[in-house]
Each structure stands twice: as C-alpha cells, then as structure tokens.
Amino acid sequence: MFQGTASTNGGVRPPTAVDEPAPEQLDARVGVLAGQIHALTARLVDTLAEIDEVGGWQGWGYRSLAHWLSVRAGFTVRDAQRLATLATRRDRIPTLMAHAHRGGVSAGMCEAAARLSNMANEAEIA
C-alpha cells in the first residue's frame, strides 16, 4: 500500500511512481495469493467430501451437494458442481490433491484430471 508524503505546507502530496509496486512485486503477490486460494480450496474440497459422507447437506429441499454448496456458500452453480464433483473423486488423484494442498495447482486442474485418472495412471497424470 502506498502513502503520500507530507509537504512543507502541511498537506499530503499525491503518491509518486516510486510508491507504486514494481511488476515483479505484483507478480510475486499474484503467485502467493493464488497459492493460498489453491490450498484453501483443497481444504474446502476435503470438507465437502466429509459432509457428503455423513449426508450433512441433505434436507431442506437441496437436490445435491452442489445445490447445497451454491446456496450455503454463494458459489455459482457451475463452481459448486466442480467442487462437489472433485470432492467425490479426490481419491482418484492423491498426488494432485497433495499439490493443491501445498498451493501448487487449482481445483479446476484437479477436477479435470479426476475425470481421466485412476490408480494406474494417476502418477503420470500428476
């Protein structure tokens, strides 16, 4: 975050180009934030798998885990479907899910891989 500098008349001067982050800093920030999102999403997927196992989403008129997630957490229907599908298939891609937990890959990449993966080809897909 930038701050202006005090001027001799007591006011605050607008920030200068020196105050703006360099492209390298912005690039690093994007990498960190994306990694955090990936890791948190992996934790969310694990929690969704747990809630699905105990039927915690059922009732109150919900048609599916994805429907419940969309309403409960404010996801679009498509995003909720992707996360719910990944929650039911995460055991097919343990290597990729481990990468996701470390922030290395997105849930979208994991979900796409889970469609094709099985225990015989999982390591190669990862």
Does residue 32 form part of some domain? Answer: yes
Tens digits of per-residue pLDDT, 26-51? 999 999 999 999 999 999 999 999 99
Structural domain count, the chain: 1
Residues 6+ apart with CB under 8 A from 126: 93, 95, 96, 99, 113
How many CB atoms sit inside 10 A of residue 76's CB?
9
Q: Which amino acid is at 31?
A: G
Q: pTM of this prediction?
A: 0.80
Q: Which domain holds residue 29?
A: 23-125
- Average confidence score pLDDT of the chain: 89
Does residue 73 form part of some domain? Answer: yes
Reply yes or no on whether the pLDDT at 8 is more than 90.
no
Does residue 1 form part of some domain? Answer: no
Q: 3-class DSSP state for residue 35?
A: helix
